[in-house]
Amino acid sequence: MVEIKTDAALEAMREAGRVVGDALDAVRRAAAVGVSLKELDEVARDVLRAAGATSPFLGYRPDFADTPFPGVICSSVNDAVVHGIPTDYRLRDGDLVGIDCGAQLGGWAGDAAISFTVGTPRPADLALIDTTERALAAGIAAAVVDARIGDISHAIGSVGRAAGYGILAGFGGHGVGRSMHEDPHVANDGRPGRGMRLRHGMVLAIEPMFLAGGRDSYRVAADGWSLLTDDGSRGAHAEHTVAITQDGPRFLTLPS
């Protein structure tokens, strides 16, 4: 079931989303060569705590996971595309880092992700990140009243395929509301004009996940969580939680 939010609920969701945006901002500023993923997780924990928010990631255990998730961020480095556990790994020069973060505040959830490099970037990584962000922007631009879910999927997929990237198979965006993962699923590739019609008050997390090697397939790391490209190429992820409104898409997870 897809819940249609009142305008008051959208205001409350903006406050949850703001915490996510602020946490990602803080993590990005703290990230540098030599900083550990656990330290980045601590940075995000501090932002959530200061805002009175809790983490929908911490302790999360979907069907595919054998162990509950131990962090408030997913930190996915290089060939890890998503779901990376914040470990003691210290960032190295040229790493490509994806950070995904959620927050729960006032009964509502927010979910967003960014990708960036630390130290001296590889040009190929900058291109991958730029394309992933362009796909996110295209998906969001398609998230308008009376469009369909498939229009978002098509917009995202077209950008990724045109660049020759793979699209992480089976994963995509989702509804957001009182919990982080709700209906509907928003695939990152697909045909336009298909699927559920978008209405004012629907809230979606839109999140392209692109694989530089051009293949869609992945493997699960030994930690049971991280999803790795199966050709060793790098991946990037970008995400915002967005409300569909009569005035156009409204970003709920921008920082303050």
Residue 91 or 109: which CB sits closer to Mg ion?
Answer: 109
What's the token pair of residue 240?
Answer: 């915002």
Q: Applying CB under 5 A, which of residues 77, 187, 198, 205 lies at the interface with Mg ion? A: 205
What are residue 236's DSSP bridge partners? 210
Rg (alpha carbons) of the chain, rounded to whole number:
17
- Give just the sign of the alpha carbon dihedral 238, 186, 62, 48: positive
Query: Rounded to an integer, what distance in angstroms lies between the CA atom of residue 231 and that of residue 219?
Result: 9
The total number of residues written for the chain in this structure: 256
Site string for Mg ion, 1-40 (x = CB under 5 A): ----------------------------------------
Residue 98 or 150: which CB sits closer to Mg ion?
Answer: 98
# residues near Mg ion by CB under 5 A = 5
Residue 92 or 170: which CB sits closer to Mg ion?
Answer: 170
DSSP 175: E
Tell me the closest approach of the beta carbon of residue 98 to Mg ion, in angstroms.
Answer: 10
3-state secondary structure (DSSP) of residue 98 = strand
| 8 A C-beta contact, residue 75 and residue 41 | yes
Residue 214 or 255: which CB sits closer to Mg ion?
Answer: 255
Query: Rounded to an integer, what distance in angstroms lies between the CA atom of residue 39 and that of residue 1?
Result: 38
Q: How far is CA 115 from the centre of its chain?
A: 9
Site for Mg ion in 210-239 (CB under 5 A): 239
Tell me the closest approach of the beta carbon of residue 109 to Mg ion, in angstroms.
Answer: 10
Site for Mg ion in 104-123 (CB under 5 A): 111, 113
Under rule CB under 5 A, residue 100 binds Mg ion: yes
Tell me the closest approach of the beta carbon of residue 120 to Mg ion, in angstroms.
Answer: 28
Of the candidate spans 52-60, 98-106, 188-196, 218-226, the one that interacts with Mg ion by CB under 5 A turns out to be 98-106
